[in-house]
Chains A and B, each alone.
Chain A
Amino acid sequence: MIAIKLIWANLAARPLTAALYVVILALGVAAAVALLLFSSQSERRLERDARYIDAVVGSKASSPLQLVLAGVFHADNPPPNIPFAAIAEIAADPRVKRVIPIALGDSVRGFRIVGAPPEIIALYEGRFAAGGPYAASFEAVIGADVARAAGLGVGDSFSGAHGLGGGHEHGDRPYVVVGVLAQTGAVVDRLVLTPVESVWDVHGVAHDHEQTPGEQAGGSSGHHHGHRDGHAQRSEDVEAAQTQSGGAQSVIFGPRGRQSAPPQEVTLLLVDLVSPMGAEGLLRDLNGASPFLAARPAAEAMRLYRLMGVGGQVLQAFAFILIGAAAASVFVTLFSALRERRGEIALLRAMGATRGTVFSVLMGQGVVIAALGAALGLLGGHGLIEILARSSEQAAAFGLSGALFHPGEILIALGSVAAGALAALPASIGAYRTNIARTLSETG
């Protein structure tokens, strides 16, 4: 009790100094915690999202990372389109179990609209919180985050905007929500799913229009509508694609009773393999002679994670330097003040304080500064991640949340308090060992 009062009085006597150390330490702890939360949450999200899909096939004019980012994590601009005939070609490979084509390009309130057959819902292990799958063009199934953020429910209608946010609205062609998915913690939470036909129709792609092969479907590209629309388009090839998909393989795609002509282009293909063992060979074959590029989400996610890891290590080192600097400051302050405070320590002992009391008064100052810094840092770290999650579309795609706790934070907090205690230890031992009689006769 006496020690606690003295610890507090000593810290309060130099409030700015104490506050400075608390802030430096808090910055270090916040950085370390934010890094831990970011890496653990994004790694989990990347692993989870990559798990659903064995391979992604897209245009040769793209890169493996772009294919995976756009097709699996929905965090990049779409790559150039590929002809619809590609579905049949890929599906014909005996190593392929299932092909799901997707058409990208539009968004609603920053959430991506994905044109795909309804089987994509099962692929993402989506369960319906309300409604059911879409059956017709301009019907949509929305993820849990979309429903919450956009305030949409079954029966509501909305218009898509060109590109990923900021584009003009296609106000004349509203979508109707027919289903809302339950929260999965995966990327589908942030997607608007609709038949591929919707994506074509919304851009006024003429059913019998002239072919424009290889055109960019990306939201960042120009948006000239009508005949030269940059989105996935229809062609006569769908029948060919369907007839070619025989045997054990199946191509999940169909015009669903529509009168319109079949599509010509899609953005990319999500490919399920019969066995993951076949992935390497398929990738080699496709990336060799074919006009397509194939990528494995798991491999690209790992590459991406390694890239982020380098930056993360630099930041982590910086975080620990901050924590160390705070501890060093506490050490220097307490230890250099020890000489001028010997008189007070002697007075305390003369007044009846034990060695243990003066030891704990000095230790306590280091520990209290460290504990305050650690607590502030934990709050700051979570706040930082929450701000990041809310402010950036890319960060949101990593599934970041400031509300999630990681057990490693306990270690960071305990480590910081231990650093504070260690910093205070030399001064505390000095106080414990102070020769009272000599100090009093020298300075008394």
Chain B
Amino acid sequence: MSEKPLIHVKDLVVSADGQTILSMPEWRLGAGEAALLLGPSGSGKTTLLHVIAGLIRPSAGTVTVAGVDVHALRPGQADRFRGRAIGFVFQTIRLIRALTVEQNLALALNLAGKPADKSRISATLDRLGVAELAAAKPPRLSVGEAQRCAIARAVVAQPRLILADEPTSALDDGNAERAFSLLRDEARACGAGLLIATHDGRLKALLANRLELAAR
């Protein structure tokens, strides 16, 4: 691995209320690689995603994303870096309800410091098969539609890294498999790394690169 890794976690310790909730000597994810983050509930999967995104400050160690030490940034800088470099997909929080699908994607572009390019938005929605939902408000969408739109929102600004937290747990088998394929294809299409935190057994067969966290 001569190239610089996309994610580099080193000597990481995360504590809360004086107790260590996550420790990780070293872990890397190469640029454009995809990995599953596995482990039982409470093993720290979500915590690791948040540490990588700069939302939780570790008590020791460093995390670099695309060469940037995310915890050395000032709060505003960290927010802007997150908006530019990272796309998030969650289990249930998918879109801003007051905005249409199209406006959600435009917001993602703006928060990444990019213009709300209409053709880019419609191309992204088109790729995910939800072009006809552009003008729809999120409460009107089905669960599967909403998750596709959420993936579109996460990838439209072409982030370096896509972090997905249980993206398929709320979906049925068919939708879960489709959502996974979409995430992997979209990550590939924009050259982004992909890290999926999940306890969803259905995904284990689909991706070989795994990081297992132990129960504590």
Contacts and interface: CB of A to CB of B under 8 A. Distances in A.
Interface residue range, chain B: 35 or more
B171 interface: no
Interface string A410-444: 00000000000000000000000000110011011
Nearest to B111: A352
A44 interface: no
A352 B93 contact: no
B110 A350 contact: no
Given A352-B80, A352-B84, A9 B98 contact: yes
Contacts of A12: 98
Interface string A347-364: 111111111100000000
Nearest to A10: B98
Contacts of A277: none
B75 A444 contact: no
B98 A353 contact: no
Contacts of B165: 440, 444
Contacts of A353: 79, 83, 111
Contacts of A122: none
A31 to B, nearest CB: 32
A343 interface: yes
Nearest to B88: A350
Interface string A335-379: 000000001101111111111100000000000000000000000
Contacts, number: 90
A6 B75 contact: no
A354 B96 contact: no
B154 to A, nearest CB: 9
Given A347-B93, A440-B93, A354 B107 contact: no
- Which of A1, A352, A355 counts the most chain B CB atoms within 10 A? A352
A440 B97 CA distance: 17
Contact of B91 (A350, A356, A437, A444): A444
Contacts of A436: 50, 55
Given A6-B98, A354-B76, A444 B47 contact: no
A352 B79 contact: yes
B55 A440 contact: yes
B173 to A, nearest CB: 22
A437 B82 CA distance: 14
B23 interface: no
B55 A350 contact: yes
Interface residue range, chain A: 20 to 34
A2 interface: yes
Nearest to A14: B98
A5 interface: yes
A2 B91 contact: no
Interface in B42-85: 46-47, 50, 53, 55-56, 75-76, 79-84
A13 interface: yes
Contacts of B96: 6, 9, 344, 347-348
B166 interface: yes
B111 A444 contact: no
The DSSP consensus for interface residues of chain A is: helix
B180 interface: no
A346 B111 contact: no
A2 B107 contact: yes
A350 B49 CA distance: 11
A1 B92 CA distance: 27
A404 B104 CA distance: 46
Contact of B97 (A2, A344, A354): A344
B155 to A, nearest CB: 12
Interface string A1-37: 1100110011011000000000000000000000000
B83 A352 contact: yes
Contacts of B95: 347
A444 B166 contact: yes
Interface string B130-163: 0000000100000000000000010000000000
Given A351-B107, A352-B83, A352-B112, A437 B92 contact: no
Given A9-B99, A13-B98, A354 B93 contact: no
A350 B85 CA distance: 11
A438 to B, nearest CB: 9
A441 B197 CA distance: 12
Contacts of B79: 349, 352-355
A355 B82 CA distance: 13
- Listed from nearest, the 7 A-B pairs whose CB atoms lie closest are A352-B83, A13-B98, A352-B111, A9-B98, A437-B50, A444-B90, A354-B79
Given A9-B99, A350-B88, A440-B55, 4 more contacts: A9-B96, A350-B90, A351-B153, A352-B84
Interface of A: 1-2, 5-6, 9-10, 12-13, 343-344, 346-356, 436-437, 440-441, 443-444
21 contacts: A9-B96, A12-B98, A13-B98, A13-B137, A343-B92, A344-B97, A347-B95, A349-B55, A349-B79, A350-B90, A351-B83, A352-B81, A352-B82, A352-B84, A352-B111, A355-B79, A356-B76, A437-B47, A437-B55, A440-B50, A440-B90
